[in-house]
Amino acid sequence: MTAPGPDSAAGGTARRLFVYNGGFLTRPRIRRILTLAGYDIRLGRPGAGDMIGVWGRSPTSWRGETVAEHTAAPVLRVEDAFLRSVRTGREGDPPLGLLLDSRGVHFDPARPSDLEVLLAEHPLDDTALLDRARAGITALARAHLSKYNAFDPATPCPAPGYVLVIDQTAGDASVTASGADRNRFLEMLVCAREDHPGARILVKTHPETLAGHRGGHFRDGDLSAGMEFFTDPVSPHDLLEGAVAVYTVSSQLGFEAILAGHNPVVFGQPFYIGWGLTQDRAPLDRRRRRLTRAQLFAAAMILYPRWFDPCRDRLCPFEDAVQSLAAQTRAWREDHAGWVASGMRLWKRAPLQRVFGQHRKVAFEDRPDRAAARAHRDGRRRMVWASAAAGHDGAVRVEDGFLRSRGLGADLVPPLSLVLDDLGIYYDPARDSRLDRLIANSPDLPLYEIRRAEHLVRQIIEKNLSKYNLAADARPPDLSAGRRILVPGQVEDDASILAGTDTIRTNRRLLEATRAANPAAVILYKPHPDVEAGLRAGAVADAGDIADAVLDRTDAIAALEAVNEVWTLTSLLGFEALLRGKSVTCLGTPFYAGWGLTDDRAMPCTRRAARPTLAQLAHAVLIDYPRYHDPLSGLPCPVEVVVDRLATGTVPRPGRLNRLLAKAQGLLAGYAGLWR
């Protein structure tokens, strides 16, 4: 059983929905979700078969209710879903999903809502559904996601052992619907003290109260000894973890308390009471079923809402919505204070502004002293392009990600993925990096994240994706039979070569070492695309004298498919070979070496002691480490969106000026020191 209503995405006919609230007309996201859900928004008087749309129990809902009384048209009540946005709606953020209810409103106990009927009547016994629910609970906690998410999970919570009393905004519809008022909140505070006479009591302020939009129910004079307001914007998950008890009237934080393992004391009648998971001070007799936390979550978060994918412009399952919100939230948490960026070439600045400047425009300053002063003065963070990091102590290093673009960075094609590293940078094994830590911790990933990584790897393989995704020739058809080894050439002054190699540092030496170790093998040498284009150093004029074949301008994936093994210094093609089940031998120390998945011939990196599976490694490298930017919607996005864009070719092309600059770079390749 699911919430009733049409669904155009499933092939149904759109049902006319007459509205009398301007928000339905002026808020594009709401209109779009309703349209995708199968509703045709109209003005006027409804006829037979039409519905009336109202916003919950808002001050304007009486308009639609009055029309419904005179026309007998059924009412569809619309509300924000329980994962709403990064910031509040009053700050301009659109909702990630909607609750469309044909019976009532989830927070109004006057009559059963569609959600209550789901909780009361749906079997909620499907193993796959409950597995999704348990994974969803873990996913929200892992990413520190809540209804609103404009907080830094690193902000410390109070020392554990407190009683948490949750305030709500004055006039909140869920409070009114529960028949509660300020006196009810005061009663709750008294009960919390009586139940826990010696405990520290924290009164948690609502985010909209903290932002100055609406007042709360508690005042300074209401708090006695041992009680205090808590206004810091911390992770609700961390705050709930430190609490010994939770008290609420009808806040969504009470629902999240259940998911965190609490049995909160509830003084109102929200949707989550009456199912055996709360201590109800205002019980509803009609709710008698006993549910598990997973069952409650399955109904409220998976079956009830209509979730929206803002990048793909479609309705989506709960899991896709969480991935979208996690990407947007990560971007806000990292970027909202603003950045001072150093070492960024001029052509990179506009793409970097689009990625990192959505909440506060990026300031560019190359001189280390001026960058530090600007950051200190404006309360900004500092970032620096990794290869230009010398002298920029304390700055976060930036580099291209591993699913970058359709086209070369040397051709000034903007990236779809970038990495931020606050410890080091992935290609430098001499120091710890954020990627090293993610890989080291990846064996502890929950199962659903492992499944996500496995699916991602399958998609990359099926869609023949690599870092640059260049148009290139297929492999030659007349290659010799036998044990085949691919040797990928690299740019010899690339930072990964300079940092990640020792005695063997050139393409020629790599070829010679591979031939010496494998005299009978068929060795295929693939020059780096930047070198083939004449943009970077690393050509081997006599490569054909060492290798059995030189794969000029050959598709990287086609080259991988032609071989059994890859021998490399630090090339990303070694990682792409691992994803495709190839044996990889490393003569340098790339980020994927040292974890037990490669044959390592260089000096060992002793701190790389973890032994992740390939899926765990892929999760760290492709999901947790980079940030992705959708070129169509302009939004931060999960990796799966970029995979779709790269596979379909719906990615940005360099503008005319960038193409001219790229050609000039090619002409001046021998004088790279002048412009790099």
C-beta of residue 69 within 8 angstroms of C-beta of residue 84 = no
Question: Distance between alpha carbon 649 and the CA centroid of its chain, in Å?
Answer: 22
Query: Is the pLDDT score of 675 beyond 70?
Result: no
Split into its structural domains, the chain has a count of 1
Band of pLDDT at residue 498, cut at 50, 70 and 90: very high
The whole-number average pLDDT for the span 507-529 is 95
Which residue spans within 178-321 are E strands per DSSP? 201-204, 227-230, 243-248, 265-266, 279-280, 306-309, 314-316
> What are the tens digits of pLDDT across the range 91-142?
999 999 999 999 999 999 999 999 999 999 999 999 999 999 999 999 999 9
Task: Please report whether residue 627 resides in a domain.
Answer: yes
The whole-number average pLDDT for the span 265-272 is 98
- CB-count exposure of residue 48 (10 Å: 0-12, 13-18, 19+): exposed
Band of pLDDT at residue 654, cut at 50, 70 and 90: low
What are the CA-CA distances from residue 166 to residues 159, 353, 501, 533 (Å)? Answer: 18, 39, 56, 62
Band of pLDDT at residue 410, cut at 50, 70 and 90: low
Q: Measure the CA–CA gap between 30 and 358, rounded to whole angstroms.
A: 22
346-362 as b/e: b if 16+ CB within 10 A: ebbeebbbebbbbbeeb
DSSP element (H, E) containing 319: helix 318-335
Question: Distance between alpha carbon 626 and the CA centroid of its chain, in Å?
Answer: 10
Task: Please report whether residue 479 resides in a domain.
Answer: yes
The tokens for 205 are: 């302020």
> What are the tens digits of pLDDT across the range 46-89?
999 999 999 999 999 999 999 999 999 999 999 999 999 999 88
Helical spans, DSSP H, in 122-220:
127-142, 173-177, 182-195, 207-210
User: In whole numbers, what is the pLDDT of the chain averaged over residues?
Assistant: 92
Task: Please report whether residue 295 resides in a domain.
Answer: no
Query: Is the pLDDT score of 160 beyond 90?
Result: yes
> What are the tens digits of pLDDT across the range 277-325?
999 999 999 999 999 999 999 999 999 999 999 999 999 999 999 999 9
What are the CA-CA distances from residue 256 to residues 171, 328, 333, 567 (Å)? Answer: 22, 21, 21, 50
Residue 538: what pLDDT?
85
Residue 531: what pLDDT?
85
Query: Is the pLDDT score of 532 beyond 70?
Result: yes
Task: Please report whether residue 11 resides in a domain.
Answer: no
C-beta of residue 35 within 8 angstroms of C-beta of residue 7 = no
Query: Is the pLDDT score of 535 beyond 80?
Result: no
Q: Measure the CA–CA gap between 139 and 205, rounded to whole angstroms.
A: 25
Residue 408: what pLDDT?
67
The tokens for 286 are: 């009609």
Task: Please report whether residue 613 resides in a domain.
Answer: yes
Task: Please report whether residue 195 resides in a domain.
Answer: no
- For the question of whether the overall pTM of this predicted structure is more than 0.95, the answer is no
DSSP element (H, E) containing 385: strand 381-385
464-481 as b/e: b if 16+ CB within 10 A: ebbbbbbebeebeeeeee
Task: Please report whether residue 308 resides in a domain.
Answer: no
Residue 473: what pLDDT?
64
Task: Please report whether residue 489 resides in a domain.
Answer: yes
Query: Is the pLDDT score of 437 beyond 60?
Result: yes
What do you get for the CA distance between the two ends of the chain, in Å? 61
C-beta of residue 358 within 8 angstroms of C-beta of residue 364 = no
Closest by alpha carbon to 340, among 388, 379, 389?
A: 379
> What are the tens digits of pLDDT across the range 638-648?
999 999 999 99
What's the CATH code of the domain at 543? 3.40.50
Which residue spans within 536-577 are E strands per DSSP? 549-550, 565-568
> What are the tens digits of pLDDT across the range 450-472?
999 999 999 999 999 988 877 66
C-beta of residue 640 within 8 angstroms of C-beta of residue 456 = yes
**Domain assignment of residue 601, given as a range:** 445-648
